[in-house]
Amino acid sequence: MNLEQLNRLSVEEATHTFMQCCTASSWVEAMVLARPFIDEQALAYQADLAWAGSIEADYIEAFEGHPQIGNVDTLRKKYANTKELASGEQSSVNHASEQVLLDLAQGNSDYLDKFGFIFIVCATGKSAEQMLALLLARLPNNKITELANAAQEQRKIFHLRLNKLI
């Protein structure tokens, strides 16, 4: 899809398309209404502007659009082979050890219990070990700090997805 095609989508089609980038309904609505975009910079600017107006409920809604990495079987599949990773987004991942997978599953569970939302990180180019280190580094944070961290990671994610879209 190119920018011209995005601008010409029906409201329903545009809503579906932007939901693939971020599931916060207020963000999606703002993006749909902001069309037409004159260029990719305008698209990126509007994405940031819409996100800047978000509140905690919007962040949580966006986070809920991500799958939770919570069980070891899912993690084994995710980190089994770098060539099998979704869209090459984690191209630097090496085979993860069983201990790292167990620690990631436990850390994700601890994070959810503490903050009430799943661990959000822009995973592009990060190994399982790096993901674990980031999770463990953020786990001691308070909820306000962590909500801001997760919101910033979500912002990185929707920018990557918008770039893939166009």
| Percent residues over pLDDT 70 in the chain | 84
Q: What is the mean pLDDT of residues 105-127?
A: 92
What pLDDT shows up at residue 70?
55
3-state secondary structure at position 18:
helix
Both tokens assigned to 78: 């995710």
Of 135, 124, 107, 108, nearest to 158 by C-alpha is 124
Q: How far apart are CA 47 and CA 34, in angstroms?
A: 9
pLDDT at 48 over 60: yes
Q: With 0-12 CB in 10 A as exposed, 13-18 as middle and 19+ as buried, what is 82?
A: middle
What structural domains does the chain harbor? 3-62 (no CATH), 67-147 (1.10.3330.10)
Angle separating helix axes 11-19 and 25-34, nearest 10 degrees? 130
pLDDT at 61 over 70: yes
Question: CA 41: distance to chain centroid?
Answer: 20
SS3 91: coil
pLDDT category, 82, cuts 50, 70, 90?
A: very low
Confidence band (pLDDT; 50, 70, 90) for 87?
very low
Residue 17 has pLDDT above 80, yes or no: yes
Q: pTM, whole model, 2 decimals?
A: 0.84
Average pLDDT for the chain: 87
Which letter does DSSP use for residue 22 in this model?
Answer: -
Kindly report, residue by residue over 23-43, the tens digit of the pLDDT: 999 999 999 999 999 999 999
Q: What is the pLDDT of residue 89?
A: 42
User: Tokens for 122?
Assistant: 């822009």
Q: How far apart are CA 129 and CA 151, in angstroms?
A: 22
Residue 95 pLDDT > 90: no
Phi, psi of 148 (to 5 degrees): -65, -40
Q: How far apart are CA 147 and CA 44, in angstroms?
A: 22
**What's the pLDDT at 152?**
98
Give the pLDDT of residue 109. Answer: 93
What local confidence, expressed as pLDDT, does residue 80 receive? 52
State residue 67 phi and psi, 5-degree precision: -70, 145
d(CA 132, CA 108): 9
Least reliable range by pLDDT among 12-26, 76-90, 100-114:
76-90
